[in-house]
Chains A and B, each alone.
Chain A
């Protein structure tokens, strides 16, 4: 059974049109992460929540926002997608302990036309 679920799997949006990606988890983990992964590259951390505490990476563009209304759900909002934002967006969760084992969803492939 999928433990980290991302919807939709594929998302097409237009240049400049806001888009929201969603992630849910059944693991009851404290921490939820959003990564951007471009072709043949490593996942790049955008931000993460430790419970309700939001932690933004210094180089994450302001165009990217996130919401975590409760433990199970986390959303990635891209306010004005550009062509360079086309990528795979991965959600992950962890318990927040020292091992920091992260469980990833299958990702949402975003295309920007």
Chain B
């Protein structure tokens, strides 16, 4: 049973464009929703995260939008840059998964110059 569904699998964006990656979850007990960024040959690194008591969180060019009723959250990358090219994973934690992360399937983002 997939607890987190992430889409799209891959995304190609032109420099300066907006990248949008979506995730949907099933368990309403989850209470923390991070996004991790992974470059080739590196481990994932926390990019930005949100709690369900807010609908949006922005850090620089990165924004998480959260829709609690729809059980969906998304990552928006504004003014996408070639250096943003990486694999992005959404994740969920909390409830019976306390102390563990459940990752989405990942999105390979390519930003063309």
Question: Interface digits, A71-113 against B, CB 8 Å rule (1 contact, 0 not)?
Answer: 0000000000000000000101010101111111111000000
B99 touches A106 (CB 8 A): no
Q: Are A50 and B103 in contact (CB under 8 A)?
A: no
* Inter-subunit contact B49/A101 (CB<8 Å): yes
CB-CB under 8 A from B99, the residues of chain A are 31, 48, 50, 94, 96, 100
Residue-wise interface mask of A (22-65) relative to B, using a CB-CB cutoff of 8 A (1 in contact, 0 not): 00000000010000000011110100101000000000000000
Q: How far is the CB of B16 from chain A (nearest CB, A)?
A: 27
Residues of B within 8 A of A41 (CB): 105-106
B71-113 vs A, CB cutoff 8 Å, 1 = contact: the mask equals 0000000000000000001000110001111011110100000
* A104 to B94 CA separation, bound complex (whole angstroms): 19
- A residues near B44, Cβ cutoff 8 Å: 43, 90, 102, 104
Decide: A42 and B49 in contact? CB cutoff 8 A. no
- Cβ distance B34 to chain A, nearest Cβ, rounded Å: 7
Contact of A102 among B42, B94, B98, B101 (CB under 8 A): B101
Q: Identify which of B43, B104, B108 contacts A107 (C-beta below 8 A).
A: B43
Query: In the complex, what residues of A have CB within 8 A of residue B42's CB?
Result: 106-107
Q: Please report whether the interface of chain A is mostly helix, strand, loop or mixed according to DSSP.
A: loop
**B98 contacts across to A, CB distance below 8 A:** 98, 100
The verdict on A40 contacting B43 (CB below 8 Å), with A31-B99, A100-B101 known, is: no
Q: Are B31 and A45 in contact (CB under 8 A)?
A: no
Instruction: Return A11 CB to nearest CB of chain B, in Å.
Output: 14
Question: Size range of the interface on A?
Answer: 20 to 34
Chain B residues engaging chain A, CB cutoff 8 angstroms: 31-32, 34, 41-46, 49, 89, 93-94, 98-101, 103-106, 108
Can you name 16 A-B pairs with beta carbons within 8 Å?
A: A40-B108, A42-B105, A42-B106, A43-B89, A45-B101, A90-B44, A96-B99, A98-B31, A99-B49, A99-B93, A100-B100, A101-B46, A102-B46, A102-B101, A103-B45, A104-B45
Query: Which residues from chain A sit less than 8 Å from chain B, CB to CB?
Result: 4, 31, 40-43, 45, 48, 50, 90, 92, 94, 96, 98-107
